[in-house]
Amino acid sequence: MASTEGALTGTGYINHHLTNLTFGRFPEGHWGFAHGAEEAASMGFMAIHVDSMAWSLGLGIIMFLIFRSIAKGFSVDKPSKVQCAVESLFEMAQDSKDGTFTKQAENLWIAPMALTIFVWVFFMNLMDLIPVDWLPTAAALLNGESWSSISAHGAQTYMKVVPSTDVNIALGTALGVFLMIIYYSLKMKGPIGFTKELTLQPFGPYLVPFNLLLELVALLAKPLSLGLRLFGNMYAGELIFILIAMMYSAGLGLGVLGGFAQLGWAIFHILVITLQAYIFMMLTIVYLSQAHEAH
Amino acid sequence: MNINATLIGQTIAFGLFVWFCKRYVWPPMVNAMQERQTQIADGLAAAEKGQQAQDVAEKEAAQMLSEAKSQAAEIVANAEKRGNAVVEEAKTTAGSEKERIIASAQTEIDQDVHSAREELRSQVSSIAVAAASKIVDKEIDEKTHASLLDDLVKQLKAG
């Protein structure tokens, strides 16, 4: 909460929900956790969102634990339901890759990467469906705050549980994709081929600077659109969940209405989070297939 | 909403996860899935083969059945023919036997008739002599009248 002493306000509530638990270097030079959004902003780049990173890594680890346990207990004759679900995920990743890539551009990394992206992003988005106050309140209680203090003034501990609503997480994943685009462009076309692609089209060799400008914008737009699309969708969805949650403190009538609104929005969001994960995966495959092909 | 080192951290985490997936998760799962696909394909092929074998066996069985049926019919026909032949043979044998028996009975009867007639004739001559001697009331010497008697016997024979 921005104002540590005041009563719980709507603005404070929203700000609390949208502020990450930030660990970083203060302008004065020492390291520590930020107390509030302003302090976090003052740290600049030398800070890390502990909550986003922890949830992101934790969800990724959970994903791999599930995959490993399925792979170990793989039953040829009697597949369990979870195994069937995981298998269809693997097949979806493989099919998406096979459908986009041309046959000669064989790359064994693409399908595993597509699977990782889809499931990981889906898991991160899935955190959106957990009611917005549960985990932050639990974190505040674990941090030693009392229940009465939390309900009177709002929680003081920052805990943002949906990693994909953190622009760093969304853009960081997209940056990983971007590095792969650069790597495979250089590997498949060679430095000269890649440079030619960036400079000699679309307008031929006489307009090299203009071509370079266009192509660089197109190249940089790929990770930006990838990351910001995910971030924007998830951030907006999360914000609406927070606004709906505020209705609970506004009397019985609005509270009941809020309950229905939250249910409806959550059901709709099941679609959104799956779609966003799928779009992220498909666009990654498309970008990488473009990186593999000479124009 | 600040861009900070989380960006780099997430990129590194992304790279690690992709590597981990490619290295430790993808191969065992895909291999197992392929193994199962092969197994299923093999099973389906075996089922089809079994189906074909069954079809062939069914055809063979039907053929054998029809063969057996025709054979049985043939056997029955043969048996009937044979039976008829046996009956016919028995009939002809019985017929000829009957004729033979009748013929032998006839000869016997003829012989009996003949011998009876001979006996009668021989008796007739003595009766005739006895009757004649009674009639003439005197002894007739058989030796003197032998020619007369023979003549009489001849006449009787002829009669």
Question: What is the structure's pLDDT at B36?
Answer: 85
Does residue A44 come out as left (phi exceeding 0), alpha (psi in the -120 to 50 range) or beta? left
| pLDDT per residue as tens digits for the range A7-58 | 677 788 888 888 888 888 888 888 888 887 888 888 888 888 888 999 999 9
Q: Which residues of A touch B34 (CB under 8 A)?
A: none
pLDDT exceeds cutoff 50 at B158 = yes
| DSSP secondary structure code for residue A7 in this structure | P
Which percentage of chain A shows pLDDT scores above 90? 33
Q: Report whether pLDDT(B108) > 80.
A: yes
Q: Name which of B4, B20, B32 is nearest A71 (Cβ-Cβ).
A: B32
**pLDDT at position A65 over 60:** yes
Average pLDDT over residues A84-90: 86
pLDDT in tens, B45-87: 999 999 999 999 999 999 999 999 999 999 999 999 999 999 9
**pLDDT above 70 for A262:** yes
Nearest to A39 by CA among A213, A158, A217: A158
At residue B153, does pLDDT exceed 90?
no
Kindly report the backbone phi and psi dihedral angles of residue A48, in degrees, each rounded to the nearest multiple of 5, phi listed first. Answer: -135, 140
B9 touches chain A (CB under 8 A): yes
**pLDDT at residue A221, rounded to an integer:** 93
Residue that wins the pLDDT comparison between A108 and A264: A264
Which is the catalytic residue, given A88, A151, A225, A249?
A225
Cβ proximity of A164 and A121 under 8 Å: yes
pLDDT computed for residue A1 by the predictor: 35
Residue A294 corresponds to which amino acid? A
Q: Chain B within 8 Å of A30 (Cβ-Cβ)?
A: no
ipTM over 0.90: no
A199 and A127 in contact (C-beta within 8 Å)?
Answer: no
Reported as a single tens digit per residue, the pLDDT across A165-177 is 999 999 999 999 9
**Per the CB < 8 Å rule, is B10 touching A176?**
yes
- Pair type for strands A22-25 and A31-33: antiparallel
Confidence grade of residue B139 (pLDDT, cut at 50, 70, 90)? low
Q: Which of A269, A249, A267 is nearest to A258 (CA)?
A: A249
Q: Is the pLDDT of residue A152 over 80?
A: no
Given a cut of 60, whether residue A102 has pLDDT beyond it is yes
Give the DSSP H or E segment for B146: helix B146-158
For residue B140, the model assigns a pLDDT of 60
Q: Which residues contact B128 (CB under 8 A, 6 or more apart)?
A: B152, B156
Model-level pTM? 0.73
- At residue B145 the predicted structure's pLDDT band, cuts being 50, 70 and 90, is confident
Active site residue A225: yes
pLDDT of residue A234: 93
What mean pLDDT is predicted for residues A130-137? 86
Is A46 in Cβ contact with B7 (below 8 Å)?
A: no
Q: Taking CB atoms and an 8 Å limit, are A168 and B11 in contact across chains? A: no
